[in-house]
Amino acid sequence: MTIKEWLQNAYYDEYGQYLWAKHPDGNQLIGEVRGWGALQQGFKTEEAAEAFQDMVGKFIADAINEKLQRDFGGQDETL
């Protein structure tokens, strides 16, 4: 197993605040966006806190995918 194989095709599931990687045999949980209590305190509405948490999750997934592209020459987009 390599870093590229483990993290390939990362995406954020906004309904569960989880980061996943698409593998040939199914999706693999690779992370979770935490800090809901702090986020609720930092925003005036729950909707704003949820939107920010989703933005953070998508940012992390995009960063993983960009780094894989840069360091390892891309991903297996056929999964």
**What is the per-residue pLDDT across 18-67, written as a single tens digit (0 to 9) for each?**
999 999 999 999 999 998 889 989 999 999 999 999 999 999 999 999 99
Assigned token pair, 18: 């989880």
Which residues have C-beta within 8 Å of that of residue 41, sequence separation ≥ 6? none
How would residue 74 be classed by pLDDT, with cut points 50, 70 and 90?
Answer: low
Assigned token pair, 6: 């483990």
pLDDT at position 1:
86
| Distance from C-alpha of 68 to C-alpha of 65, rounded to nearest angstrom | 5
Whole-structure pTM value: 0.86
User: Residue 61 region, left (φ>0) first, then alpha (ψ -120 to 50), else beta?
Assistant: alpha
